[in-house]
Structure 1
Amino acid sequence: MASITSMRSLSFDVVGEPLSIKGFTTTRWGITELVPGQAGPWTLDLQLYMTERAAYRFNLTSGTPRLFVQAGEAGATPVPASITASQDVAASWLDGEHRVLEVDMPLAIQAWMEAYLAHQGEAPEEGRKKKRKGAGRAREAEA
């Protein structure tokens, strides 16, 4: 069970707008009216994980912090299923051929994430690991 401090409910709507590119018409989907709470047509829980602290810090220090919503398969009408603040998680969703919608992170969520990182501590720096001598190489056969 997740602690209260690592999860927030977020409400939003998904809207499509027609987009014409070189004579072809498609729909550009986006997230609107993202707010904390359970007031919108869609509600997902944003869960923060200790293992993603470095990704959260990277996102928060970017020029425009973002949230990412997994919204079903690419090419289909969006059906929001998950939300994350980790670009690494969003990239894995894209690798799985899922549609990922991005939205600016509200200031209230940025402040909550900063408090989470302050409470849990920053992720340890991943230094270079020292290889054991001969590790990763085939052993030379003795004659």
Structure 2
Amino acid sequence: MSDSLRALSVTLVAEPKQVRSFTLTQWRIAELVPGDQGGGVLNLQLYMTERAAYRFNLTSPTPRLFVRAGFTGQTPKPDAITASQDVAAGWLDGEQQVLEASMPMAIQVWIEHYLARHGEAPMETRKKKRKGAGRSKETPTKEQPQ
């Protein structure tokens, strides 16, 4: 297997949730473990372009993995997994269900090793604008004789 690809087994569980007089079914990840011995097996692929997002996730108090599970309002069918909050946010914008779980320590170590091997992503900094740059300037015009 590639140094940027790992299999993870995902098990979902449905839990009834009472909201006022309605009972809703809320899905959550019951188990997420490295390996391919489970009900749903997904491949976690790391990308060079997402290194800054991986670092951000790893430095958070509780690193997470995000599972795309089909469209909102349908029974979840996990079909993708990521360690990037940016990718997960894109899935949410597309009205996809995104479930999250704590990142197993083995995956944290693997991502750290990936970042050490490929280098940290360069910090994105904004360039300072020169004073008045990008603004239209009023130019004095001579009055036209009427």
TM-score (norm 1): 0.89
The answer to which of 121-130 and 16-25 deviates more is 121-130
* Matched residue type, 2:9: S
- Matches for 1:17-32 after TM superposition, within 5 Å: 17-32=15-30
Deviation at 1:129, TM superposition (A): 2.1
Cα deviation 1:52-100 (Å, max 9, x = unaligned): 1111111111111000000000010001111000001101100111000
* Matched residue type, 2:32: L
* Matched residue type, 2:17: L
Q: Which residue of 2 aligns with 1:103?
A: 101
Q: Which residue of 2 aligns with 1:12?
A: 10
RMSD of aligned alpha carbons: 1.9
- The alignment covers a number of residue pairs equal to 141
- Matches for 1:1-143 after TM superposition, within 5 Å: 4-131=2-129, 136-137=134-135
Q: Aligned partners of 2:58, 2:22: CA distance in 1, in Å?
A: 36
The answer to which of 68-77 and 123-132 deviates more is 123-132
Pair 75,126 (structure 1): closer, same or farther in 2 beyond 3 Å = same
Runs of 4+ in 1 over 3 A off after TM superposition: 130-143
Q: Specify every segment of 5 or more residues in structure 2 that has no aligned partner in the other structure, as ranges.
A: 142-146
Q: Specify every segment of 5 or more residues in structure 1 that has no aligned partner in the other structure, as ranges.
A: none
TM-score (norm 2): 0.87
The answer to which of 106-115 and 30-39 deviates more is 30-39
Deviation at 1:141, TM superposition (A): 8.7
The percentage of counterpart residues that share the same residue type is 65
Cα deviation 1:15-59 (Å, max 9, x = unaligned): 111110112111110112211111111011000111111111111
- Aligned with 1:108: secondary structure? helix
The structure that has the greater radius of gyration is: 2
Q: Which residue of 1 aligns with 2:144?
A: none
* Matched residue type, 2:81: I
